[in-house]
Structure 1
Amino acid sequence: MRINCIIVDDEPASREVLEKFISDCPTLTLLQSCKNAFEASDAINQFDLQLIFLDINMPKLSGIKFYKSLVNPPFVIFTTAYPEFAVEGFEVDAIDYLLKPFPFERFYKAVNKASETIISKSSESKPQEFILWKADKKIHRVLLDEINYLEAIGDYVKVQFADKSIMVHNTFQKLLAQLPDNKFVRVHKSFAIALHKLETIDGNRIILKGKSIPIGQTYRTDFMELIKNQGLS
């Protein structure tokens, strides 16, 4: 998961350090480096961001007062050269508090805490996607994140989960059309996989949760291009 962030710090040298650290951190995308709270306010209104690296001791409007003024604030990691501000920083549920000057290792630890918090909150607030399929004369509520792969078997499609499977009486093509193509991809005339369950690609086979699935020659070029575009190759 990529985390969109901004820097808010009135000191150019401090901004440069954070910019370098963020560029070295693959999970972060820096959207803007702000000199004060007013620039930061514009950035928050403009961008979809999840995290602020916020200096506390700034002229005109301190980082604490600025953060308290936000209606729906992103998560925050405070940065400051003054340890006496730490207690006040944690009163607003800061993810972490970095005391300047801090090394990359300490910065990265704070980023990992932020990632865990953001992913956890995201999964809590986002309802799970599901689809209704008929199998065994019953209507099943199928959570998309729980599907490993689909396999065409005659007039049925086997939908495989981690510890069970169901047989849906429908065509392979019709079932695939109901699934989001950014999450599921056809790799063979008889198989489609959930991309997020892929473990390894070994030659012309995909290893997915202990299952070896063939890559059909007809589908190989498009599949490998998809993998390349997602930065997985």
Structure 2
Amino acid sequence: MKKISCIILDDEPMAVSLLSKYIEKVSIFNLVKATTSPFEIAELVTHTNIDVLFIDIQMPELTGIQLMKMIGHKSKFVITSAYSEYALEGYEHNVVDYLLKPISFDRFYKAVLKINDLFKDDFLKIAIKAEEKRDNFLFVKTDGKLVKINLEDLLFIEGLKDYLYLHLKSEKLITLDTLKNFETKLSQKKFMRIHKSYIVNLNAVETVERNRVFIQNKIIPVGESYKVLFQKWIEDCV
């Protein structure tokens, strides 16, 4: 599971130590840095992607507000302060929560739940994009080597016992596999099994006539047990 990277910045060493201990108890975080130096953090964030900064407001060299303005929307912030009057100004920036000192673990954990909900959606989007990328190609073993095939070029798959014939736009490959196993590697939105011996690329279907599908002059039968699902796909496309 991807962890949320975070930094602690406070001019009070005791506050840095306390938050560090709190963060150690929470498995979703990867603590990258805990320091009393705002300039060190400003330099680090310039070259490193940090998800969340736990940041004090009142610091002698550089205030938390000034630092948030410098960092902008690259990161999200949890403000830690003994002064509630900075809350309104702080929320003008990318602030997730405002923790008033002294900070109890219970109150800290409520902020953790907010952060987790916030990043859970972001990580899910990343995972979906990665899955979509994987849907674009496959590696298959043929002639003793692994060959990368673009799935948009794969017109249909023909099964013959333990072998598959992969019919691509410009060539035909043979691989040792079963249709049942190969089907699990394909997107159900793009490919459909229409016969005990055939899986077709739905985008490659040119004509449907009775119980037959035409793909580049190849006639592929639609099996009895696959008719209902295939007919439903046709109706959804009309």
Q: TM-score, normalised by structure 2?
A: 0.56
* 1:95-114 correspondence runs (5 A): 95-114=96-115
Closer/same/farther in 2, CA of residues 98 and 134 from structure 1, 3 Å limit: farther
Counterpart CA distance in 1 for 2:105 and 2:7 is 17
Contact 1:55–1:79 (CA<8 Å) still a contact in 2? yes
Counterpart CA distance in 1 for 2:120 and 2:12 is 31
Shift of 1:166: 3.6
From 153, 162, 166, the counterpart of 2:178: 153
Shift of 1:89: 1.1
Equivalent AA in structure 1 for residue 91 of structure 2: F
SS of residue in 2 equivalent to 1:111: helix
2:67 is the counterpart of 1:66: yes
Counterpart CA distance in 2 for 1:122 and 1:5 is 15
- The residue aligned with 1:3 is 4
Shift of 1:13: 0.7
Structure 2: 5+ residue runs without aligned partners?
A: 137-150, 159-166, 168-176, 200-238
Contact 2:80–2:99 (CA<8 Å) still a contact in 1? yes
Equivalent AA in structure 1 for residue 83 of structure 2: Y
**In percent, how many aligned pairs have the same letter?**
30
Counterpart CA distance in 2 for 1:53 and 1:5 is 7
- The residue aligned with 1:77 is 78
- The residue aligned with 1:218 is none
Shift of 1:21: 0.5
Q: Deviations over 1:92-116 (max 9, x none)?
A: 1301111111211221221221122
Counterpart CA distance in 1 for 2:23 and 2:111 is 12
- The residue aligned with 1:15 is 16
- The residue aligned with 2:117 is 116
- The residue aligned with 2:50 is 49
Closer/same/farther in 2, CA of residues 159 and 37 from structure 1, 3 Å limit: same
Contact 2:49–2:74 (CA<8 Å) still a contact in 1? no
Structure 1: 5+ residue runs without aligned partners?
A: 140-151, 171-233
Q: Deviations over 1:100-145 (max 9, x none)?
A: 11211221221221122223235557734232354479x9xxxxxx
Q: Which moved more, 1:112-121 or 1:28-37?
A: 112-121
- The residue aligned with 2:31 is 30
2:54 is the counterpart of 1:89: no
Counterpart CA distance in 2 for 1:119 and 1:154 is 35
Counterpart CA distance in 2 for 1:10 and 1:75 is 19
Contact 1:8–1:35 (CA<8 Å) still a contact in 2? yes
Equivalent residues, number:
157
Closer/same/farther in 2, CA of residues 43 and 156 from structure 1, 3 Å limit: closer
2:65 is the counterpart of 1:40: no
